[in-house]
């Protein structure tokens, strides 16, 4: 059976909103029908390139009769309200992470989302990266035996502006949140969090009481231990590695080089080009796959997309990490 | 200055014609206005996906007034005639390699092409591969000093059907032709050819007096030596490597893996996925870049595209290699 | 100036004692004059291969007049007493790690060692591994800027026997002790320890209340964070990696393969042989270099050898890790 | 059964003679009883370090009654005479390559060597390199199927002095000789040789009519093709690679790095240290294994050691390559 394309209302047209707009336009199963942003010029630019009607007011989008799904890519503080409006109208949602920086608002929304018959998916794009997904599938297939250790190295290319740091919710809620979800992609049931943060180079982080460097260890119910190593900068490019370790061996995800060329000279051999710049390059396929999974979720109830509860769990882990780093204790968590 | 898109007439809708059709449709500077193939179903399928009017008769395409350029992707024996018709009508041409299997036909056409004011470019796509182009640029920039040795390993994934072998013109004209052009991408002035061929596994090659395995050495006017290593099969995937060697070091192009994941176990460590299957995957960017270069050639006289004379030179080298392999002598060549 | 070879009394002829005996015999600056072990057959076998007089009683060795230095490779509980006897007699000591499992005994001995005019070096062999030493030197030279993160992956090939686990002092004092010293090789002033342990596969560890899997994070006074990832088993061979991360880049130590050969097939490419088995192979050069450094310490007061206080610091960190893992708190430490 | 050590008379104490002397001294199955060199100071220095009586006259060595085997490491022109004297006296010989630069002298000696009941082994050390030996064994075990292509890249770090070039016999007899033997290690029955030489950088080679750059292709009786790529210099260190290619995949030997450390920065990632300097480093294990194999040959008739006929075959191939490069024809050879 063929379907008419799923008509998206996109809310938010910043960097990540533009990525989604392009993917919606490129996917033959989806089309962009509305683009909402209070910054109308941004919405207009996106609509010019990828289609859709423009509005400054998301309410107009929710009132329209040609919106089959909403993609929320607006600032974090707007997410809870927008999810609620979509759920109230019975419109499926794909919302960028995090749901909110305040777990209380998430918990307050949770029963309504659970009761709604409408899918609410979270934009944890890395689950859809072919390499991470491959490792998870191969671990599940038993190639390395029962997972004992998972090591995630995740370093952004450069620290964000101090203004952004001020409202980011801190490194754990803003950056590590992806790694918490990646940990749960392999080991959903995390029971304990321990974190150490440090500020080694970023004046903005220092000013706002945030960290630029962090290591988090998580204990899974199975006894497996996850280690997350973060930095807000990385000279070599976006540093995104993962190692799954089990009794039969390891599966590793390497960084992706931007070139197949290596140079060898009298000083140094096998030198290759730096890794890809940042998430827009590194996770380009992941964003497209995330959209495909969401379409399958809306149409057929497919279960690959991370859920509202996955978004809540990642925030609970971030909160626990923040507390652990501040109070210097390990923090028990219950994600159920 | 903005331009109207260049309107292409595509002749031939086999595997490679389809690649070009998709790239013409995807490039905002180009559009597909005609699709010609005596196998009309093929032409229709291409036009359905990528646009353009359909004809079984390339003559209709040449007679149309909405063809700014012709892309020839039809069987080799038709190339000379089609190039001639395009040149006669003053239409720029991008023609798949080789020009012809018979150097006499190429030489006969050559004066007309030279005299025409119209660009005729040859589809040596590998020049546009980012990795090979990067190595050439870095050699030109002096990173390894004056080029002394160039080593090209080029192995197809699987031998073609015996029927194809029968009309292919032999391994040197059919397969090594790309490597001859790659050699000339770095060292245009080749003066001597020595070749050794062998038939080690392919019954089709044996039956038709062809080789499935070959090594060719070329001497450049500068004294540099090029080595080309070919096989008609490769279990590990399409094997496309290159090494440029000079007094200051080497620049190497590695094969491209299909995954960032590696597995380590008690038996074997750092094992990764096989290389990409074949040219459609490995050279996808190259085909798109080839098209962009051709547009720049037509519009601004840009000089990156390989020329008719490059096509002739590759064929002269292939003929010399064939003679060398058969007569067991080194063959002097003059490509001017 | 040439010297007579330094005459060693070796105490303990187990696996590690045999390594030292062989190195003493192979080094033209050292010679083996006494070999002591209550298990006389072991001592005899060592003396047969590498020279020296044999005794069951270390007292005889201390009483001899041809012992310029003592190498202590006997069981851990004997170390404190043997160091004390050597210091009392004014004989330089190279003692295997750890000094003792009980920090109280170490603290009790400390003033005497500090007051003695005799060098007491600890056998933290990994400091002498060419790769780790190279990274430290390059970090010190500023190649990656100020050290922000240090990641140590250290996995033994196979869990020790349950009997050994019972008396080992636990994974932190027995195994991680090397990694604590490696951390201090780069960042001597550690101020905080956080550890998470788990028992995922080893019945012996479970029975004795020990861990087989552990992650430790250390905070240095500079703000740098060290992560240590341990497992008591590793299918791929002895897993000994390190990554130093700074604002200008990373320096990494890879595992050492046992072969230069790689295999590529249709299933998997670039597969190489497993890593080296265990420390005797991986750190063979390190043990020889450790001995050379000790000779230079005895003769010229060279300062490369880890000291008694380094041994104490590693044990303090191990104790803190044990407490952190048990009580689930971060533990502040003062190593001065 | 234990044996008394095999007593060696070493003739020649240059760079390679010293390597053999050290290995004879280090091997518990061998001992150095005589050291002969007209340059007596050299012989004395070797004997001081590794034992043996010194003579300027090899005749004295042959007359002695405590020489069980002769190791010939003197200049090439002396080899034939020395082999003959050893064979006449019934003393087993391990002779450095090449036997001679003049095939006529080799052929003249051949019947006597064949008739003698005494082993004459040739010092083709690379056969004993663990990596090359591993690849050969794995090819023989069928891991990649029937060998179709063998590619040998062999580049010395720096061109020899012009004086040496003058008497070297040319690149094929002096340098490629090792690669010819390596080719025959995998494919003993070579039937055709084609070579191309060039002089691109070395004034000494130019002056003496020699090449500094060469590519040789060999056809085996099986149809397999061998490619040998040589240069007299290599900025990246001694470049010694090999690739065996068959229907099921490839087995590759990589260069050996001098360090496990890699550096990644904003400019370049995964850069490692240059490769080992030259054969003394790269083939250290090979020389020791070569000696062990020779001992096994003398004692038990073991067959791993390359023979006089292997030495002759390599020279025949070198002669054929020289002729091919000069006359620009492929040269058929019969090695039986």
What are the tens digits of pLDDT across the range B198-251?
999 999 999 999 999 999 999 999 999 999 999 999 999 999 999 999 999 999
Question: Quick check: D192 and B194 CB within 8 A?
Answer: no
Residue A265's pLDDT band (boundaries 50, 70, 90)?
very high
Q: List pLDDT tens digits, range C189-244.
A: 999 999 999 999 999 999 999 999 999 999 999 999 999 999 999 999 999 999 99
In terms of pLDDT, which residue wins out, C145 or B279?
A: C145
Testing the interface with C: which of A179, A197, A213, A227 to mutate, by most C Cβ within 10 A? A227
Question: Quick check: D151 and B229 CB within 8 A?
Answer: yes
All structural domains of chain A: 6-118 (3.40.50.720), 126-332 (3.30.360.10)
Residue B48's pLDDT band (boundaries 50, 70, 90)?
very high
Selecting from D146, D192, D231 the residue whose C-beta is nearest the C-beta of B245 gives D231
pLDDT for res B2: 66
At D204 the three-state DSSP class reads: helix
Q: List pLDDT tens digits, range B59-98.
A: 999 999 999 999 999 999 999 999 999 999 999 999 999 9
Selecting from C235, C265, C272 the residue whose C-beta is nearest the C-beta of B270 gives C272
Omega before C161 within 30 of 0, i.e. cis: no
Question: Quick check: A255 and D275 CB within 8 A?
Answer: no
Q: List pLDDT tens digits, range C19-76.
A: 999 999 999 999 999 999 999 999 999 999 999 999 999 999 999 999 999 999 999 9
**B to D CB pairs, distance under 8 Å:** 108
- The dihedral region occupied by B182, where left means phi > 0, alpha psi between -120 and 50, and beta the remainder, is alpha
Q: b/e per residue, D297-308, with b = 16+ CB within 10 A?
A: bbeeeeeebbbb
- Provide the Cα torsion A183, A188, A191, A193; round to 10°: 20
Question: Quick check: B270 and C268 CB within 8 A?
Answer: no
CA distance C180 to chain A (A): 17
Residue B114 vs residues A123, B55, B108, B185, B313: alpha-carbon distances, Å = 57, 30, 11, 20, 14
Please give the residue of chain B at the shortest CA–CA distance from D274. Answer: B249
First to last CA, chain B: 38
How far, in Å, CA of D224 to CA of D190, rounded? 9
- Residue ranges of chain A whose CB lies within 8 Å of a chain D CB: 235-237, 255, 257, 263-275
Subunits touching C (CB < 8 Å, at least 3 pairs)?
A, B, D
How far, in Å, CA of B252 to CA of D234, rounded? 14
How far, in Å, CA of D132 to CA of C260, rounded? 9
Selecting from A255, A266, A271 the residue whose C-beta is nearest the C-beta of D268 gives A271
CA distance C89 to chain A (A): 46
Question: Quick check: D229 and B227 CB within 8 A?
Answer: yes
Selecting from B146, B201, B225 the residue whose C-beta is nearest the C-beta of D247 gives B201
How far, in Å, CA of D85 to CA of D75, rounded? 16
Structure token digits, residue C210: 């020990």
**B to C CB pairs, distance under 8 Å:** 57
Residue C2's pLDDT band (boundaries 50, 70, 90)?
low
Question: Quick check: B271 and C271 CB within 8 A?
Answer: yes
Which residues are bridge partners to C252 per DSSP? C243, D262
| Selection from A201, A19, A148 nearest residue A94 by Cα | A19
Please give the residue of chain A at the shortest CA–CA distance from B254. Answer: A260
Omega before D98 within 30 of 0, i.e. cis: yes
User: In the predicted model, what is the mean pLDDT of residues B37-46?
Assistant: 96
Question: What is this model's ipTM?
Answer: 0.95
Question: Quick check: A131 and B254 CB within 8 A?
Answer: no
Task: Report chain A residues whose CB lies below 8 A from the CB of C192.
Answer: 196, 328
CA distance D147 to chain C (A): 14
| Selection from C95, C97, C75, C68 nearest residue C84 by Cα | C95
CA distance C280 to chain D (A): 17
Task: Report chain A residues whose CB lies below 8 A from the CB of B252.
Answer: 261-264
CA distance A172 to chain C (A): 16
Q: Across chain D, where does the E strand assignment appear? A: 6-11, 30-36, 53-55, 69-72, 93-95, 120-122, 149-155, 190-198, 213-220, 225-231, 239-246, 249-253, 261-265, 271-272, 331-332
Please give the residue of chain A at the shortest CA–CA distance from C248. Answer: A235
Which H or E run includes B240? strand B239-246
Instruction: Answer whether residue A87 shows pLDDT above 90.
Output: yes
Residue A219: exposed, middle, or buried by beta-carbon count in 10 A (0-12, 13-18, 19+)? Answer: buried
CA distance B275 to chain C (A): 8
Question: Quick check: A217 and C233 CB within 8 A?
Answer: no
Residue A277's pLDDT band (boundaries 50, 70, 90)?
confident
Q: List pLDDT tens digits, range A92-150.
A: 999 999 999 999 999 999 999 999 989 999 999 999 999 999 999 999 999 999 999 99
pLDDT for res A2: 66
Residue B294 vs residues B33, B66, B119, B291: alpha-carbon distances, Å = 17, 18, 9, 5
Selecting from C252, C261, C262 the residue whose C-beta is nearest the C-beta of D261 gives C252
Q: What is the DSSP string of A275-314?
A: BP-SHHHHTHHHHHHHHHHHHHHHHH----S-BHHHHHHH
Question: Quick check: A134 and B259 CB within 8 A?
Answer: yes
Instruction: Answer whether residue C315 shows pLDDT above 90.
Output: yes
User: In the predicted model, what is the mean pLDDT of residues C262-288?
Assistant: 91
pLDDT for res D2: 66
Subunits touching D (CB < 8 Å, at least 3 pairs)?
A, B, C
Subunits touching A (CB < 8 Å, at least 3 pairs)?
B, C, D
pLDDT for res C280: 85
How far, in Å, CA of A241 to CA of A275, rounded? 11
Selecting from C148, C153, C199 the residue whose C-beta is nearest the C-beta of A223 gives C199
Instruction: Answer whether residue B287 shows pLDDT above 70.
Output: yes
No. of helices (H) and no. of strands (E), chain C: 13, 15
User: In the predicted model, what is the mean pLDDT of residues A193-212?
Assistant: 96
Q: Are strands C120-122 and C93-95 parallel, antiparallel or unpaired?
A: parallel
| Selection from A277, A294, A307, A324 nearest residue A97 by Cα | A307
Question: Quick check: C269 and B264 CB within 8 A?
Answer: no
Task: Report chain B residues whose CB lies below 8 A from the CB of C271.
Answer: 268-271
CA distance B130 to chain C (A): 23
pLDDT (tens place) for every residue of chain D, 336 residues total: 467 999 999 999 999 999 999 999 999 999 999 999 999 999 999 999 999 999 999 999 999 999 999 999 999 999 999 999 999 999 999 999 999 999 999 999 999 999 998 999 999 999 999 999 999 999 999 999 999 999 999 999 999 999 999 999 999 999 999 999 999 999 999 999 999 999 999 999 999 999 999 999 999 999 999 999 999 999 999 999 999 999 999 999 999 999 999 999 999 999 999 998 888 889 999 999 999 999 999 999 999 999 999 999 999 999 999 999 999 999 999 998
At B16 the three-state DSSP class reads: helix
Residue A190 has φ and ψ, to the nearest 5°, of -90, 135
Q: List pLDDT tens digits, range C103-121.
A: 999 999 999 999 998 999 9
Cβ–Cβ under 8 Å, residues D3 and D35: no
Maximum CA extent, chain A: 67
Mean pLDDT of chain B: 96
- Residue ranges of chain D whose CB lies within 8 Å of a chain C CB: 130-131, 134-135, 138, 143-144, 248-256, 259-266
| Selection from B13, B83, B94, B95 nearest residue B50 by Cα | B13
Instruction: Answer whether residue A260 shows pLDDT above 90.
Output: yes
pLDDT for res B16: 95
Task: Report chain A residues whose CB lies below 8 A from the CB of B257.
Answer: none
Residue B74 vs residues A146, B65, B77, B308, D148: alpha-carbon distances, Å = 55, 21, 8, 17, 34
Q: List pLDDT tens digits, range A32-56.
A: 999 999 999 999 999 999 999 999 9
How far, in Å, CA of A41 to CA of A36, rounded? 10
């Amino acid at each position: 059976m063929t379907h008419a394309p799923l008509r998206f209302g996109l809310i938010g047209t910043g960097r990540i909103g533009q990525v989604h707009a392009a993917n919606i336009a490129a996917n033959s199963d989806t089309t962009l029908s509305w683009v909402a942003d209070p910054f109308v010029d941004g919405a207009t630019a996106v609509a010019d390139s990828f289609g859709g009607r423009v509005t400054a007011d998301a309410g107009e989008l929710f009132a329209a009769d040609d919106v089959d799904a909403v993609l929320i890519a607006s600032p974090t503080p707007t997410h809870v309200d927008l999810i609620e409006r979509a759920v109230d109208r019975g419109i499926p949602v794909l919302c960028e992470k995090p749901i909110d920086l305040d777990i209380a608002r998430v918990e307050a929304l949770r029963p309504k989302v659970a009761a709604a018959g409408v899918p609410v998916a979270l934009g944890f794009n890395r689950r859809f990266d072919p390499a991470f997904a491959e490792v998870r599938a191969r671990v599940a297939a038993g190639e390395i035996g029962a997972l004992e250790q998972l090591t995630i190295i995740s370093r952004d290319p450069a620290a964000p502006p101090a203004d952004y740091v001020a409202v980011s919710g801190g490194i754990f809620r803003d950056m590590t949140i992806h790694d918490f979800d990646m940990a749960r992609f392999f080991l959903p049931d995390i029971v304990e969090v321990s974190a150490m943060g440090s500020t080694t180079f970023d004046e903005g982080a220092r000013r706002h009481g945030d960290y630029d460097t962090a290591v988090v260890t998580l204990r899974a119910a199975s006894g497996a231990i996850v280690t997350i190593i973060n930095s807000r900068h990385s000279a070599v490019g976006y540093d995104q590695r993962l190692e799954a370790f089990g009794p039969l061996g390891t599966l590793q995800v390497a960084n992706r080089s931007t070139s197949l060329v290596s140079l060898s000279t009298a000083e140094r051999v096998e030198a290759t080009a730096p890794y890809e710049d940042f998430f827009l390059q590194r996770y380009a396929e992941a964003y497209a796959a995330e959209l495909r999974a969401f379409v399958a979720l809306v149409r057929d109830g497919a279960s690959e997309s991370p859920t509202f509860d996955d978004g809540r769990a990642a925030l609970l882990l971030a909160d626990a990490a923040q507390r652990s780093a501040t109070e210097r204790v390990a923090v028990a968590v219950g994600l159920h």
